[in-house]
Structure 1
Amino acid sequence: MKKLEALTSMDMIEDFLKNHELSFLYVSREDCGVCHAVLPRLRELLDQFPQIYLGHINAYEVEEIAAKFSIFNVPALLLFVDGKEVLREARFIHFDELESRLEKIYGMYNQATS
C-alpha cells in the first residue's frame, strides 16, 4: 500500500510540493466517514504509480489548507505536477474515472521526462 506522509503545517505542505515532482495531497477530517472509506482505496490505486508521492492533511490540524487550495468538501484529492495542480476530486470519488485520468497524466509526465 502506498506510503502516506502526514503533513501537519503549511510549511510541510509547501516543502512536500517542492520536493516531489508528482505530489498527491489527500485532505480529510477525522469525523468524515467517506474520508475513511476512500483512503485505503486511494493508497491501493496509487501503488500503480510509483513516482507519485502521497501526503495526508487533516483539515482540522491545518485549517488554512481550505483557503490556500479552495477546498470546500472533504475528502479532497489534489494532484500536482511540478507544483501546479493538474487534477482535483472531492467528496464522492469515482475510482475508475480517477484511475483513467491518473494514467493519462502519468503517461504524459513520463514521456516529457524521458
Structure 2
Amino acid sequence: MIKLNELTAMQMVEEFLENHEMSFLYVSTPECSTCHAILPKLRELLDDYPLIHLGHIDITKVEEVAEKFLILTAPIMLLIIDQKEYLREDRFVRFNILEEKLGKIYEMYIQ
C-alpha cells in the first residue's frame, strides 16, 4: 500500500509539495467518518500510480491549509503537479470517476 506521509505543520506541507513533482493531498478531520472510510480506498487506488506521493493533513492541526487551498469541507483530495492543482475531489467521491480523471492526468504527465 502507498506510503502515507503525515503532514502536521504548514511548513511540512510546503516542503512535501516542493520535494515531489506529483503530490496527492488528503485533508481530513478526526471526527469525520467519511474521511476514515475514504482513506483506505484512496491508498489502494494510488498504488497504481507510483510517481504520486500521498500526504495526509489533519485540518484541525494545520488550519492554515484551509486558507491556502480554499478548503470548505472534509475530506478533500488534491492532486498537485509541480505545485499546481490539477484535480480536486471533495466529500462525496465516486472512485470510478476519480480513477478515470487521475488516469488521464497521469498518462499525460508521464508522456
TM exceeding 0.5:
yes
TM-score (norm 2): 0.99
What's the Cα RMSD here?
A: 0.4
How far does the alpha carbon of each residue in 1:19-68 deviate from its partner, in whole angstroms, 9 at most, with x for none?
00000000000000000000000000000000000000000000111111
Distance 2:56 2:81 in 1: 17
Q: CA deviation at 1:72?
A: 0.4
Could you tell me which runs of 5 or more consecutive residues in structure 1 were left unpaired when the two chains were aligned: none
Distance 1:89 1:73 in 2: 11
Q: Count how many residue pairs are aligned between Structure 1 and Structure 2.
A: 111
Report what 2:97 is aligned to. 97
Q: Where does 1:27-106 land on structure 2 (aligned, <5 Å)?
A: 27-106=27-106
Distance 1:94 1:41 in 2: 11
Distance 1:99 1:21 in 2: 19
1:7 corresponds to which letter in structure 2? Answer: L
How far does the alpha carbon of each residue in 1:60-99 deviate from its partner, in whole angstroms, 9 at most, with x for none?
0001111110000100000001010000001111100000
Distance 1:2 1:97 in 2: 20
TM-score (norm 1): 0.96
Identity %: 59
Q: Which runs of 4+ in 1 moved over 3 A?
A: none
Distance 1:64 1:54 in 2: 19
Distance 1:7 1:105 in 2: 24
Distance 1:15 1:63 in 2: 17
1:85 corresponds to which letter in structure 2? Answer: E
